[in-house]
Structure 1
């Protein structure tokens, strides 16, 4: 009997599915009375507009966007240098697909390894620092003057727009830590310069 029950249930489901198209409605059919979702959203937006809630939310969103623009989230995992160190980084990459020219010709084959510094030199050294630390800002300004402006300041934390206005020069931000992770930088201030076919990275002691 225990084996028979699943078999009967299976047969019943098959018969029901096969004969479903032959069944007629057993009662009156009524239209769905639920309100359209878009109408609900529109009504809520109109209500928020009348109450001023919509305008308040828009102002709050604009303030959050402005704050994020003026001071992006600091790069996680990058700390102030305690022990200075120097190391080198090889920027060579292995192509996972062929690099083609304007006419479709293969310039570099897939699987080949190339160093960008063999083609173009680093135009100017890069200086990574945290603008939330007044000592690092002071040290960065000194280094910028020593290099006669030929230095690219890149923040890992702090308000880069404010610093740009103060210094009257371009200041960049390492969004999401893409550059520091790529270069292996874990402490700042850090100065990146070209050393032949490699990049030399100096994590500098913070000056008082």
Structure 2
């Protein structure tokens, strides 16, 4: 008979190994329902869906809706946030100087200004028109702007309202401050406001109209 050595309650005997291996290899049967692995052809599914949408007119309706939505966004842009009507006039000078990120050269490759240099654009080009910011929904502001400036003397820029509707009504070209980039750049918080050249600087003025604005 082979010896069985007991070590701390654990059986340690090479003679038991065959029995342990047999126990581990026991067939426990099927533990649950199984399925075969299936990978549907995604491209075929998408292609079939698109063909069905094309056949029932869904794609055409979707394209029409998207085009209408895009046109509405252009004709009725989102008002610039944080801009209110002027309640108290104020003005300040704005330095348009910038620091160049790269060298500026002329057509012959000659250096005009180098990267890192601070440059005032008004030293090279003149600003020929004023920038007039107004709320295009306010009739008083619109009338004030178009009566005070000829089309060649100023660019009238809306911070709210539809430039297209006003152009048809006033027969005058208007612009829109998309995402408030210009008003934010000049620090304008109220309209009507004017940005006008003043030597090597720009004068920014928020104007209080007589009687106030709606």
**TM-score, length basis structure 2:** 0.75
- Which one of the candidate residues 83, 87, 93 is aligned to 1:88? 93
**Match 2:169 to one of 166, 185, 208:** 166
Tell me how large the CA RMSD over aligned residues is: 2.0
Structure 1 residue 84, shift from structure 2 partner: 1.1
- The residue number in structure 2 matching 1:120 is 125
Task: Give 4+ residue runs of structure 1 displaced > 6 Å after superposition.
Answer: none
Q: Is the 8 A contact 2:129 2:152 kept in 1?
A: no
Query: Are 2:131 and 2:154, in contact at CA under 8 Å, matched by a contact in 1?
Result: yes
Question: Which consecutive unaligned segments of at least 5 residues does structure 2 have?
Answer: 1-36
Quote the Cα distance in structure 2 between the aligned partners of 1:107 and 1:36. Answer: 60
Q: Name which of 183, 186, 193 aligns with 2:186.
A: 183
Matches within 5 A, 1:56-95: 56-95=61-100
Give, in angstroms, the shift of residue 181 of structure 1: 1.0
| Residue equivalent to 2:17 | none
How many correspondences in the alignment? 176
**Contact 1:75–1:174 (8 Å) recurs in 2:** yes
Q: Which has the larger radius of gyration?
A: 2
Structure 1 unaligned runs (5+)? Answer: 1-31
- In structure 2, the residue matched to 1:157 is 160
Contact kept in structure 1, 2:130 and 2:197, CA below 8 Å: yes
